[in-house]
Amino acid sequence: MIRIAVTPQSTHDVYQLLVQKERELRSKKSGTLHRRGSARAGKARWAHSSFPGRILLQRCLGGVCVAVIKSTTPNDQWQLLSSFIGFLDRHFRQQISGVTLTYVIAGKK
């Protein structure tokens, strides 16, 4: 499992930006990351069209968004990670000030 904290520039709400962009791409039948499951306030679950696993998103204070990447096969987490980081870079380079990765070892918190 990989935990990613995305810190915004000034007053941007990263979670809202991500959700809006995913919705826009889905309406155009474009993109590889798509929402799965029911909509919940401040939380979302995304899946990749090609890679197994999921990305759990949560809105936090100060516009920060935390994403947790979970893959059904731990050796393939890098593919979801690469896709998500690429998505952030392509669409939100100007709105993000930093990205922090934390590797969570199974069984430890």
Q: What is the pLDDT of residues 23-82, one digit of tens each?
A: 999 899 888 998 888 778 889 999 999 899 999 999 999 889 999 999 888 788 999 999
Paired with 33 in beta bridges are 48
Give all strands (DSSP E) within 1-109, no chain letters. Answer: 2-8, 33-35, 43-48, 54-59, 65-70, 96-103
* Domain boundary assignment for the chain: 2-103
Q: What is the pLDDT of residues 90-106, one digit of tens each?
A: 999 999 999 999 998 86
CATH 3.30.310 fits 2-103, yes or no: yes
Give pLDDT, residue 72.
84
Give pLDDT, residue 5.
96
Give pLDDT, residue 108.
57
